[in-house]
Structures are given as structure tokens and as C-alpha cells.
């Protein structure tokens, strides 16, 4: 993978950064995205259970694929941000139910 050297001024001195240029991957069809929708939702749920932040989740492939589905078919698929809120709510309810059973 090639990198592009870009200089940036930080703290009064010039610091060099490496910017990695990623090659474009193969195109994926909407049909393939729709077929893998449950997998992307499961991946998001696992990331949430691992304690990943919303910002970290936004950088994942599953987030990007869910965004593509939502932008292509917004009436059929919710945005990844909305799905994240639903999953967070579900997780909170499960934790509350577990705490209630322990009492």
C-alpha cells in the first residue's frame, strides 16, 4: 500500500504524517447488501457488547454497508445511527431485567 507524505505544523514545528491510500475494493450490489443485512446488524451488536464507542463503530465496514443500504432504500432500512440507538436501548432493558432478577 502506498503512502503519501504530508507535512503538518503542530506546536510550532513541522511534523510529518503518513496518509495511507487504500485501493478501492470490489463493488457490492444492493442485493448482496440486503442478503447480508442480518450479519451487519449482528456485527454492530457485537461491537456494542465489546464496549466500542459510537465513533469507533462509525469507522467499521458494517456501519458503511448499513449506511449504503439506508441511503439506497431509506424506507426499508433504518440509518446505522438509528439502529445503534435501538440496540443500546435493547441492551439497557436486558441489563435492567437481569438486575431485577438478581433482587
In angstroms, the Cα distances linking 93 to 87, 89, 99 are 10, 6, 10
What stretches of the chain show up as alpha helix (H) in DSSP? 30-35, 37-49, 54-58, 61-72, 80-102
Residue 88, domain member (yes or no): yes
5 is a domain residue: no
Q: What is the pLDDT of residues 7-61, one digit of tens each?
A: 444 454 444 445 545 456 678 899 999 999 999 999 999 999 999 999 999 999 9
The answer to whether the beta carbons of residues 24 and 4 sit under 8 Å apart is no
Q: How many domains does the chain have?
A: 1
pLDDT digit string (tens) for 52-84? 999 999 999 999 999 999 999 999 999 999 999
Does the model's pTM come out above 0.85?
Answer: no
DSSP symbol at 50: T
Query: 3-state class of 19 per DSSP?
Result: strand
CA atoms within 13 A on the CB side of 29: 3
Residue 69 lies in a domain: yes
Amino acid at each position: 500500500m502506498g503512502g503519501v507524505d504530508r507535512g503538518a505544523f503542530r506546536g510550532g514545528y513541522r511534523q510529518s504524517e503518513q496518509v495511507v491510500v487504500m485501493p478501492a475494493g470490489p463493488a457490492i450490489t444492493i442485493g448482496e447488501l440486503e442478503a447480508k443485512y442480518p450479519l451487519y446488524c449482528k456485527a454492530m451488536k457485537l461491537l456494542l457488547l465489546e464496549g466500542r464507542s459510537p465513533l469507533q463503530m462509525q469507522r467499521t465496514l458494517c456501519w458503511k454497508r448499513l449506511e449504503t443500504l439506508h441511503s439506497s432504500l431509506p424506507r426499508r432500512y433504518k440509518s446505522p445511527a438509528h439502529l445503534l440507538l435501538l440496540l443500546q436501548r435493547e441492551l439497557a432493558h436486558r441489563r435492567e431485567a437481569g438486575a431485577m432478577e438478581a433482587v
